Structure 1
Amino acid sequence: MARCGASAVAMAALLLLIAAATPALAQPASVTISGVTFGGNGCSWSNSEYSYSSNSKTITFIFGGMVATTDGGLEDRRKVCQISMSISYPDGWTYTLGQVTGRGFADIAKGSQGIYETHFYFSGQTGTPRVSRILPGKFVDSFEFTDDFSTSVWSQCNNTPNLNIKSVVRVEGSQAVMALDSSDTKFQLVYYFDWKEC
């Protein structure tokens, strides 16, 4: 690959930012993240880490394996990370993920493609909103895009179910890498919460 190969990528990062969709919208006075678990072939406890912000509304994940490439075997073509978060907030509120912004790097030959997708669900509830982006080759550049989730699913009122997010990066065809430029800082996913009173 011209700028980015699997061996050149030491670590991909996922920034997960939890915030109100816009400052003008109402939101609870107190929101805390009380627990996080994650796993998958794009992240593990041995090559990944996360940290909370001081206000517990932002959590940053650094993943060591969120790089999909055609240079390896079948498992290298699809990288996934499943995140489960316990979020505490006052009664009388409900929330959903409204948008996600993804930033990264792709080096995709003509006839190949890179695919980013993410979906979420609340534990014990039905509905799985999702977003998906396809980058067809020839494409060699950084990318950034913001998407609305396909449908809207809100957490149950006066309940704090776990929020589960699954992110997938995969490549198809003969020659493609989707992740980050080795000279760039990180692969980022920024999730925006919408809140409403119930």
Structure 2
Amino acid sequence: MKYSVSALVLGLFACLSAAAPAPQGDPLPDPSQVSIEGITYAGSGCKAGSVAISPSGDYQTFTLSFDSYVASIGPGVPFVEKRKNCNLNVNIHYPQGYQYTLYTIDYTGFADLHAGVSANQQSEYWFPGEPHATFRTNFNGPYTKTYSFTDTLASESLVWSPCGASTTLNINTQLLLTSSDPQASGIITTDVVDIQAKPKHIYGIKWKKCTK
């Protein structure tokens, strides 16, 4: 099976048509005062040189394209292949008096799991010194399909950036396969040959004005 490039797209505004609309509330910050000033990454799913970064001209989105982000399990497959991850550090500059949180993620990918194989896909984010919040989804075999769905965090689970100054957004994404049958095989990936599937992660961001 051949795989092509996938994209991890983070929306700086939840009004993007591809992501769920943000609830009405505080006005958004002036887009001209929001910018992406740096991105670093490392992990078994995004080794050095394997990620292309393409910010949009208005900095409302940026795209990370992966050469290979695939987890697999089964007879003859090395043990280390069952778990792949990518740690991302995103430096987003935004005006004082605002803070933001990630509240939704749109997943698109592909999974081919035999009976007895389970897959876990998760995306955890946090700000320095703050608690972690996690989007988490499980698939159980038999399961073979290109999937597309939205995962939304409950309001009480949201983690907000600190007020007063911009800070680093940390994201750890993971693909993990487990199996109760040593003869069963499975694969989960965000690198799918079917371009129509538009494999990607789209994060929705909710903004609000600081109250302190």
> Partners in 2 of 1:170 and 1:187 — Cα distance?
18
Identical residues among aligned pairs (%): 27
Match of 1:92 in 2: 97
Deviates more, 1:177-186 or 1:152-161: 177-186
TM-score normalised per structure 2: 0.84
* Alignment map for 1:43-54 (pairs within 5 Å): 43-54=46-57
1:45, CA displacement in angstroms? 2.9
1:18, CA displacement in angstroms? 2.4
1:120, CA displacement in angstroms? 0.3
Does 2:186 correspond to 1:182? no
1:73, CA displacement in angstroms? 1.0
Q: What's the RMSD between the two structures over aligned residues?
A: 1.7
1:24, CA displacement in angstroms? 4.5
* Alignment map for 1:16-95 (pairs within 5 Å): 16-20=10-14, 21-22=21-22, 24-25=24-25, 26-29=27-30, 30-71=33-74, 72-95=77-100
Residue 172 of structure 2 aligns to which amino acid in structure 1? K
1:128, CA displacement in angstroms? 0.2
Match of 1:149 in 2: 153
**Unpaired runs of 5+ in structure 1?**
none
> Partners in 2 of 1:122 and 1:114 — Cα distance?
27
For the Cα contact (< 8 Å) 1:33–1:57, is it kept in 2? Answer: no
1:66, CA displacement in angstroms? 1.0
1:10, CA displacement in angstroms? 4.1
2:138 match: secondary structure: strand
* Corresponding residue pairs, total: 191
Change (3 A) 1:187 1:75: farther
Q: Deviations over 1:44-94 (max 9, x none)?
A: 232221110011121101112211111521221111001101111111101
Dislocated runs of 4+, deviation >6 Å: none
Change (3 A) 1:181 1:63: closer
Residue 73 of structure 1 aligns to which amino acid in structure 2? P
Residue 158 of structure 2 aligns to which amino acid in structure 1? S
